[in-house]
Structure formats: C-alpha cells, structure tokens
A = this chain, B = another copy of it.
Amino acid sequence: MTDISPAVLPAPPYYAVVFTSLRTPGDDGYAETARAMFELVRDQPGYLGVDSARGADGFGITVAYFRDEDSIAQWRANAEHTAARKLGRERWYEAYAIHVARVERAYRFDR
C-alpha cells in the first residue's frame, strides 16, 4: 500500500479504528482473507478509507476510517468479517489491540 488514506481528509469528527497486530508464523490463508476484507469494507456505507503497514517482524498496523459509529457497528456485524475475525483469533494473530477513536483533527503533507 503506497497511498495515504483518506486522499482528501473529511471534515471531523469521523472515526479511526486502529488495529495493531502481531502475526503468527506462516500464511495459513491469511493473505487471501486480508485481501478479501480490504475489498469488502469498501462496500460498507460510511467507509472513508484504510491504511495498512506490516514489517518483516510480523508486527502490523491497519487503520480504517469511518464516517460514524453506526458504520463501524455495521462493519463489525458483517457475517464475512465476523468469520474472518474468528479465524484471526484461532490462527493468524499472536496478539492484537483494537482502538476505536474519534478523529478530532487531521493534517496532510504531500511533497
């Protein structure tokens, strides 16, 4: 991922869901499901964008932006997303943290 989201910053307040995770070794279906989730979330009304980075050490951060709490709740209730989260706990993650946060202000710098 080499673009920074959202490309055009929405007017605050909006929401950031920060997912910080440490992967288990091996793929075990992870990459395919991750791609599917990045595709699926685009259909979620209120979705504003996503950014993701993972280092060679298996430590990664994904930040998804949403218009409001209701969009987050709907995405959380999505059946495919719920199934993916279950597999995440069973297989793919040693540990993770989720922070749901209300964006108060945001800035961008583009060279």
Assembled-state Cα–Cα distance A13/B106 (Å): 18
Let me know if A35 is at the binding interface, CB within 8 A.
no
Contact of A96 among B4, B57, B98 (CB under 8 A): B4
Contact of A101 among B1, B104, B110 (CB under 8 A): B104
Let me know if A9 is at the binding interface, CB within 8 A.
yes
Interface flags, A1-25, vs B, CB<8A=1, else 0: 1101100010000011010111010
Assembled-state Cα–Cα distance A105/B18 (Å): 11
Which residue of B is nearest A6, CB measured? Answer: B97
Known contacts A16-B101, A59-B2; is A93 also within 8 Å of B111 by CB?
Answer: yes
How far, in Å, is A30 (CB) from chain B's closest CB? 15
Assembled-state Cα–Cα distance A91/B77 (Å): 43
Instruction: Give the interface centre of A89, A97, A106 by most chain B CB atoms within 10 Å.
Output: A97
Which residue of B is nearest A88, CB measured? Answer: B109
Let me know if A54 is at the binding interface, CB within 8 A.
yes
Query: For A109, what are the chain B residues with a Cβ–Cβ distance below 8 Å?
Result: 89, 93, 95-97
